[in-house]
Amino acid sequence: MSLDVRMVGLEHLSSFDVIRVTDPGELGASSRISDRLPPSGRPYKYRLRDRGLWRMRFDDPILSVATRGAGAMLVSYGESRFATEVTIDGDDGDLFCLTMPLQGEMTLVQDGVPTTGTVACGMVYRPGPRTRLLINGVSLRANVFLKVAKDEEALEHILDQRLRRPLEFRPDLDWTRGLTASLRGQLDYVMQEFQRPDGVAANAVALASTTDLLTTLLLHAVPHNHADQLEVGRGGAIPAYVRRAEDFMRANSAEPIHIAQVAEASGCSVRTLNSVFQHFRGTTPLAALHAIRLERVRDELALGVTGASIATVAHRYGFTNLARFGAAFRRRFNETPSELLRRASRP
Protein backbone atom coordinates (compact mmCIF):
# COMPACT_ATOMS: atom_id res chain seq x y z
CA MET A 1 0.00 0.00 0.00
CA SER A 2 1.51 3.32 -1.06
CA LEU A 3 1.85 6.29 1.25
CA ASP A 4 -1.11 8.66 1.39
CA VAL A 5 0.11 12.22 0.68
CA ARG A 6 -2.63 13.64 2.88
CA MET A 7 -1.34 11.68 5.86
CA VAL A 8 2.32 12.73 5.51
CA GLY A 9 2.02 16.38 6.71
CA LEU A 10 5.44 17.21 8.12
CA GLU A 11 3.89 18.74 11.22
CA HIS A 12 2.83 15.20 12.23
CA LEU A 13 6.36 13.74 12.04
CA SER A 14 7.09 14.00 15.76
CA SER A 15 9.96 11.50 15.58
CA PHE A 16 11.75 13.50 12.82
CA ASP A 17 14.01 16.55 12.95
CA VAL A 18 12.16 19.17 10.90
CA ILE A 19 13.68 22.26 9.23
CA ARG A 20 11.39 24.98 7.91
CA VAL A 21 12.64 27.85 5.74
CA THR A 22 10.70 31.07 5.15
CA ASP A 23 13.59 33.28 3.98
CA PRO A 24 14.77 32.74 0.36
CA GLY A 25 18.14 34.09 1.49
CA GLU A 26 18.77 30.81 3.27
CA LEU A 27 18.58 29.04 -0.10
CA GLY A 28 21.36 31.00 -1.82
CA ALA A 29 25.02 30.28 -2.42
CA SER A 30 25.75 30.84 1.28
CA SER A 31 22.94 28.51 2.26
CA ARG A 32 22.75 27.65 5.94
CA ILE A 33 20.37 24.76 5.38
CA SER A 34 23.15 22.17 5.21
CA ASP A 35 24.30 23.27 8.67
CA ARG A 36 20.91 22.18 10.00
CA LEU A 37 20.84 18.81 8.21
CA PRO A 38 22.44 15.60 9.56
CA PRO A 39 26.24 15.65 8.99
CA SER A 40 27.16 14.51 5.47
CA GLY A 41 30.21 16.58 4.50
CA ARG A 42 28.41 17.76 1.35
CA PRO A 43 26.72 21.18 1.30
CA TYR A 44 23.27 21.12 -0.29
CA LYS A 45 22.37 24.34 -2.07
CA TYR A 46 18.74 25.23 -2.73
CA ARG A 47 17.72 28.06 -5.06
CA LEU A 48 14.29 29.24 -6.15
CA ARG A 49 14.17 29.00 -9.93
CA ASP A 50 12.03 32.17 -10.16
CA ARG A 51 14.45 35.04 -9.49
CA GLY A 52 11.51 37.34 -8.76
CA LEU A 53 10.96 35.46 -5.50
CA TRP A 54 14.52 35.83 -4.19
CA ARG A 55 13.95 39.07 -2.28
CA MET A 56 10.47 38.30 -1.02
CA ARG A 57 9.54 37.31 2.53
CA PHE A 58 7.03 34.64 3.41
CA ASP A 59 5.04 33.85 6.53
CA ASP A 60 4.64 30.16 5.67
CA PRO A 61 7.59 27.86 4.88
CA ILE A 62 8.72 27.78 1.26
CA LEU A 63 10.81 24.66 1.94
CA SER A 64 10.57 22.04 4.68
CA VAL A 65 12.90 19.08 5.26
CA ALA A 66 12.29 16.33 7.85
CA THR A 67 14.93 13.69 8.63
CA ARG A 68 15.34 10.66 10.87
CA GLY A 69 18.34 8.34 10.89
CA ALA A 70 18.67 4.86 12.38
CA GLY A 71 21.41 2.30 11.84
CA ALA A 72 22.56 2.26 8.21
CA MET A 73 19.42 4.05 7.03
CA LEU A 74 18.29 7.69 6.81
CA VAL A 75 14.70 8.63 5.95
CA SER A 76 13.62 12.11 4.90
CA TYR A 77 10.71 14.09 3.51
CA GLY A 78 11.02 17.26 1.44
CA GLU A 79 8.25 19.76 0.74
CA SER A 80 8.54 22.75 -1.63
CA ARG A 81 6.05 25.48 -2.51
CA PHE A 82 7.92 26.80 -5.54
CA ALA A 83 10.12 25.46 -8.34
CA THR A 84 13.54 24.86 -6.81
CA GLU A 85 16.99 23.79 -7.99
CA VAL A 86 19.17 21.69 -5.70
CA THR A 87 22.91 21.28 -6.24
CA ILE A 88 25.44 19.37 -4.13
CA ASP A 89 29.09 20.20 -3.49
CA GLY A 90 31.91 17.99 -2.27
CA ASP A 91 32.89 14.49 -3.34
CA ASP A 92 30.54 11.68 -4.35
CA GLY A 93 28.41 10.86 -1.34
CA ASP A 94 28.54 7.75 0.82
CA LEU A 95 24.77 7.18 0.50
CA PHE A 96 22.41 5.96 -2.19
CA CYS A 97 19.19 7.95 -2.29
CA LEU A 98 15.90 6.33 -3.31
CA THR A 99 13.40 9.10 -4.07
CA MET A 100 9.62 8.70 -4.21
CA PRO A 101 7.75 11.78 -5.48
CA LEU A 102 4.43 11.86 -3.61
CA GLN A 103 3.15 15.03 -5.27
CA GLY A 104 4.44 16.96 -8.28
CA GLU A 105 7.37 16.14 -10.55
CA MET A 106 11.14 16.50 -10.31
CA THR A 107 14.07 15.88 -12.62
CA LEU A 108 17.40 14.33 -11.69
CA VAL A 109 20.34 15.45 -13.85
CA GLN A 110 23.57 13.46 -13.54
CA ASP A 111 26.45 14.01 -15.95
CA GLY A 112 24.00 16.01 -18.08
CA VAL A 113 21.55 13.08 -18.42
CA PRO A 114 17.99 13.83 -17.15
CA THR A 115 15.66 11.37 -15.38
CA THR A 116 12.15 12.47 -14.49
CA GLY A 117 10.51 11.33 -11.28
CA THR A 118 6.72 11.20 -10.86
CA VAL A 119 4.27 9.47 -8.54
CA ALA A 120 4.54 6.40 -10.81
CA CYS A 121 8.32 6.51 -11.35
CA GLY A 122 10.95 7.06 -8.67
CA MET A 123 14.70 7.57 -8.85
CA VAL A 124 17.85 6.14 -7.29
CA TYR A 125 21.16 8.01 -7.31
CA ARG A 126 24.31 8.76 -5.37
CA PRO A 127 24.30 12.47 -4.41
CA GLY A 128 27.46 14.29 -5.40
CA PRO A 129 28.90 17.13 -7.50
CA ARG A 130 27.58 15.52 -10.70
CA THR A 131 24.02 15.80 -9.38
CA ARG A 132 21.33 18.45 -9.88
CA LEU A 133 17.71 18.18 -8.85
CA LEU A 134 15.09 20.34 -10.56
CA ILE A 135 11.86 20.47 -8.55
CA ASN A 136 8.89 21.63 -10.61
CA GLY A 137 6.55 23.78 -8.53
CA VAL A 138 4.64 22.42 -5.54
CA SER A 139 6.31 19.17 -4.51
CA LEU A 140 6.25 16.57 -1.76
CA ARG A 141 8.80 13.76 -1.84
CA ALA A 142 10.04 10.96 0.36
CA ASN A 143 13.61 9.66 0.41
CA VAL A 144 15.31 6.60 1.86
CA PHE A 145 19.12 6.75 2.06
CA LEU A 146 21.23 3.58 2.33
CA LYS A 147 24.97 3.48 2.95
CA VAL A 148 26.97 2.75 -0.21
CA ALA A 149 29.53 0.70 1.72
CA LYS A 150 26.80 -1.55 3.18
CA ASP A 151 25.20 -2.12 -0.23
CA GLU A 152 28.53 -2.92 -1.86
CA GLU A 153 29.45 -5.24 1.01
CA ALA A 154 26.11 -7.05 0.63
CA LEU A 155 26.70 -7.42 -3.12
CA GLU A 156 30.20 -8.81 -2.50
CA HIS A 157 28.74 -11.39 -0.12
CA ILE A 158 26.11 -12.38 -2.69
CA LEU A 159 28.70 -12.66 -5.49
CA ASP A 160 31.34 -14.13 -3.18
CA GLN A 161 33.98 -11.85 -4.67
CA ARG A 162 35.32 -8.32 -4.35
CA LEU A 163 33.90 -5.60 -6.58
CA ARG A 164 36.34 -4.25 -9.14
CA ARG A 165 34.38 -1.05 -9.73
CA PRO A 166 31.96 1.00 -7.60
CA LEU A 167 28.29 0.02 -7.59
CA GLU A 168 26.14 2.22 -9.86
CA PHE A 169 22.38 1.90 -10.40
CA ARG A 170 20.28 2.86 -13.39
CA PRO A 171 18.47 5.92 -12.04
CA ASP A 172 14.83 5.32 -13.09
CA LEU A 173 12.50 3.18 -10.96
CA ASP A 174 9.21 2.00 -12.49
CA TRP A 175 7.00 1.19 -9.49
CA THR A 176 4.45 -0.72 -11.59
CA ARG A 177 6.32 -3.90 -12.49
CA GLY A 178 8.30 -6.85 -11.19
CA LEU A 179 10.52 -6.69 -8.14
CA THR A 180 10.58 -2.89 -8.36
CA ALA A 181 6.94 -2.91 -7.24
CA SER A 182 7.99 -5.08 -4.28
CA LEU A 183 10.81 -2.62 -3.56
CA ARG A 184 8.29 0.23 -3.47
CA GLY A 185 6.13 -1.73 -1.05
CA GLN A 186 9.10 -2.23 1.27
CA LEU A 187 10.03 1.46 1.02
CA ASP A 188 6.46 2.43 1.95
CA TYR A 189 6.68 0.11 4.94
CA VAL A 190 9.97 1.71 6.03
CA MET A 191 8.53 5.23 5.72
CA GLN A 192 5.47 4.28 7.77
CA GLU A 193 7.58 2.59 10.44
CA PHE A 194 9.97 5.55 10.74
CA GLN A 195 6.96 7.80 11.38
CA ARG A 196 6.21 5.73 14.47
CA PRO A 197 8.37 6.62 17.51
CA ASP A 198 8.26 2.95 18.61
CA GLY A 199 8.53 1.40 15.13
CA VAL A 200 11.34 -0.42 13.34
CA ALA A 201 13.77 2.50 13.73
CA ALA A 202 13.62 2.10 17.52
CA ASN A 203 14.15 -1.68 17.47
CA ALA A 204 17.66 -2.83 16.55
CA VAL A 205 16.54 -6.42 15.83
CA ALA A 206 13.82 -5.37 13.40
CA LEU A 207 15.98 -2.64 11.86
CA ALA A 208 18.78 -5.06 10.97
CA SER A 209 16.40 -7.44 9.18
CA THR A 210 14.53 -4.60 7.46
CA THR A 211 17.80 -3.08 6.19
CA ASP A 212 18.97 -6.46 4.87
CA LEU A 213 15.68 -7.06 3.05
CA LEU A 214 15.64 -3.57 1.55
CA THR A 215 19.25 -3.91 0.37
CA THR A 216 18.58 -7.35 -1.15
CA LEU A 217 15.51 -6.07 -3.00
CA LEU A 218 17.42 -3.05 -4.28
CA LEU A 219 20.26 -5.19 -5.64
CA HIS A 220 17.90 -7.63 -7.39
CA ALA A 221 15.15 -5.23 -8.52
CA VAL A 222 17.13 -2.33 -9.99
CA PRO A 223 19.52 -2.70 -12.95
CA HIS A 224 23.12 -1.89 -12.05
CA ASN A 225 26.62 -2.39 -13.38
CA HIS A 226 27.05 -5.78 -11.63
CA ALA A 227 23.60 -7.21 -12.40
CA ASP A 228 24.91 -9.73 -14.94
CA GLN A 229 26.85 -11.48 -12.16
CA LEU A 230 23.80 -12.07 -9.97
CA GLU A 231 22.65 -15.27 -11.70
CA VAL A 232 23.15 -17.75 -8.91
CA GLY A 233 24.31 -21.13 -10.08
CA ARG A 234 23.00 -24.45 -8.75
CA GLY A 235 26.27 -25.89 -7.49
CA GLY A 236 26.72 -28.66 -4.95
CA ALA A 237 24.59 -27.80 -1.91
CA ILE A 238 25.89 -28.75 1.53
CA PRO A 239 23.12 -29.41 4.11
CA ALA A 240 25.50 -28.67 7.01
CA TYR A 241 25.43 -25.02 6.02
CA VAL A 242 21.66 -24.96 6.47
CA ARG A 243 21.79 -26.66 9.88
CA ARG A 244 24.52 -24.37 11.18
CA ALA A 245 22.67 -21.30 9.86
CA GLU A 246 19.42 -22.35 11.54
CA ASP A 247 21.23 -23.11 14.82
CA PHE A 248 22.86 -19.67 14.74
CA MET A 249 19.57 -17.91 13.96
CA ARG A 250 17.77 -19.73 16.79
CA ALA A 251 20.53 -18.90 19.26
CA ASN A 252 20.49 -15.21 18.25
CA SER A 253 16.85 -14.69 17.29
CA ALA A 254 16.45 -11.80 19.75
CA GLU A 255 19.61 -10.06 18.51
CA PRO A 256 20.03 -7.61 15.56
CA ILE A 257 21.83 -10.07 13.27
CA HIS A 258 22.50 -9.64 9.53
CA ILE A 259 22.57 -12.36 6.90
CA ALA A 260 26.32 -11.84 6.40
CA GLN A 261 26.80 -12.88 10.05
CA VAL A 262 24.62 -15.95 9.51
CA ALA A 263 26.73 -16.94 6.49
CA GLU A 264 29.95 -16.46 8.45
CA ALA A 265 28.65 -18.62 11.30
CA SER A 266 27.62 -21.25 8.73
CA GLY A 267 31.07 -21.32 7.17
CA CYS A 268 30.00 -20.24 3.69
CA SER A 269 29.32 -17.17 1.58
CA VAL A 270 25.99 -15.35 1.40
CA ARG A 271 25.73 -16.55 -2.22
CA THR A 272 26.07 -20.20 -1.16
CA LEU A 273 23.76 -19.74 1.83
CA ASN A 274 21.00 -18.33 -0.39
CA SER A 275 21.49 -21.20 -2.85
CA VAL A 276 21.33 -24.02 -0.29
CA PHE A 277 18.32 -22.52 1.50
CA GLN A 278 16.44 -22.28 -1.80
CA HIS A 279 17.43 -25.86 -2.66
CA PHE A 280 16.76 -27.56 0.69
CA ARG A 281 14.18 -25.30 2.34
CA GLY A 282 12.47 -23.67 -0.64
CA THR A 283 12.90 -20.25 0.99
CA THR A 284 15.48 -17.55 1.73
CA PRO A 285 17.61 -17.15 4.87
CA LEU A 286 15.73 -13.93 5.68
CA ALA A 287 12.38 -15.68 5.48
CA ALA A 288 13.75 -18.52 7.62
CA LEU A 289 14.90 -16.03 10.27
CA HIS A 290 11.45 -14.42 10.25
CA ALA A 291 9.85 -17.85 10.76
CA ILE A 292 12.23 -18.72 13.61
CA ARG A 293 11.37 -15.47 15.38
CA LEU A 294 7.66 -16.22 15.03
CA GLU A 295 8.31 -19.64 16.56
CA ARG A 296 10.17 -18.05 19.47
CA VAL A 297 7.24 -15.74 20.15
CA ARG A 298 4.81 -18.66 19.99
CA ASP A 299 6.95 -20.72 22.39
CA GLU A 300 7.17 -17.92 24.97
CA LEU A 301 3.46 -17.19 24.78
CA ALA A 302 2.58 -20.88 25.05
CA LEU A 303 4.77 -21.35 28.13
CA GLY A 304 3.55 -18.12 29.73
CA VAL A 305 6.47 -18.24 32.17
CA THR A 306 7.33 -14.53 32.11
CA GLY A 307 3.75 -13.25 32.11
CA ALA A 308 4.75 -10.66 29.53
CA SER A 309 2.16 -9.20 27.15
CA ILE A 310 1.90 -10.19 23.49
CA ALA A 311 3.27 -6.78 22.46
CA THR A 312 6.29 -7.10 24.79
CA VAL A 313 7.23 -10.57 23.56
CA ALA A 314 6.71 -9.64 19.90
CA HIS A 315 8.82 -6.49 20.29
CA ARG A 316 11.67 -8.51 21.83
CA TYR A 317 11.94 -10.47 18.58
CA GLY A 318 11.76 -7.45 16.29
CA PHE A 319 8.02 -7.30 15.53
CA THR A 320 7.11 -3.64 16.00
CA ASN A 321 3.85 -3.55 14.02
CA LEU A 322 1.30 -5.63 15.93
CA ALA A 323 -1.16 -5.79 13.03
CA ARG A 324 1.44 -7.20 10.61
CA PHE A 325 2.79 -9.50 13.33
CA GLY A 326 -0.69 -10.82 14.12
CA ALA A 327 -1.39 -11.54 10.44
CA ALA A 328 1.95 -13.34 9.99
CA PHE A 329 1.39 -15.35 13.19
CA ARG A 330 -2.06 -16.48 12.07
CA ARG A 331 -0.79 -17.46 8.59
CA ARG A 332 1.95 -19.59 10.10
CA PHE A 333 0.17 -21.20 13.06
CA ASN A 334 -3.49 -20.99 12.02
CA GLU A 335 -4.44 -19.12 15.19
CA THR A 336 -3.95 -15.65 16.63
CA PRO A 337 -1.59 -14.89 19.54
CA SER A 338 -4.63 -14.16 21.73
CA GLU A 339 -6.16 -17.53 20.86
CA LEU A 340 -2.88 -19.23 21.74
CA LEU A 341 -2.81 -17.46 25.13
CA ARG A 342 -6.38 -18.52 25.92
CA ARG A 343 -5.65 -22.10 24.92
CA ALA A 344 -2.43 -22.19 26.95
CA SER A 345 -4.19 -20.85 30.05
CA ARG A 346 -6.73 -23.67 30.17
CA PRO A 347 -6.13 -26.35 32.86
pLDDT of residue 234: 40
Chain-centroid distance, C-alpha 166: 20
pLDDT of residue 205: 93
Which CATH number fits the domain 5-148, given the four candidates 1.10.3720.10, 3.30.365.10, 3.40.640.10, 2.60.120.10? 2.60.120.10
- Contacts of residue 135, defined as CB under 8 A and 6 or more positions apart, other chains included, come to 80, 83, 84, 85, 86, 104, 106, 141
Q: Tell whether the model's pLDDT for residue 11 goes beyond 90.
A: no
Give the confidence band of 3 by pLDDT, cuts at 50, 70, 90.
very low
Global pTM value? 0.77
CATH number of 187-345: 1.10.10.60
pLDDT of residue 261: 94
Average pLDDT over residues 299-316: 84
CA neighbor of 130 nearest in space, from 149, 146, 147, 108: 108
Instruction: Give percent above pLDDT 90 in the chain.
Output: 49
* Dihedral pair phi/psi, residue 26, rounded to 5°: -75, -5
In tens, the pLDDT along 213-231 reads: 999 999 999 999 988 777 5
Domain locations in the chain?
5-148, 187-345
Q: Tell whether the model's pLDDT for residue 244 goes beyond 80.
A: yes
Of the listed ranges 62-66, 141-145, 157-161, 259-263, the least confidently predicted one is 157-161
CA neighbor of 25 nearest in space, from 52, 71, 57, 1: 57
Q: Tell whether the model's pLDDT for residue 329 goes beyond 80.
A: yes
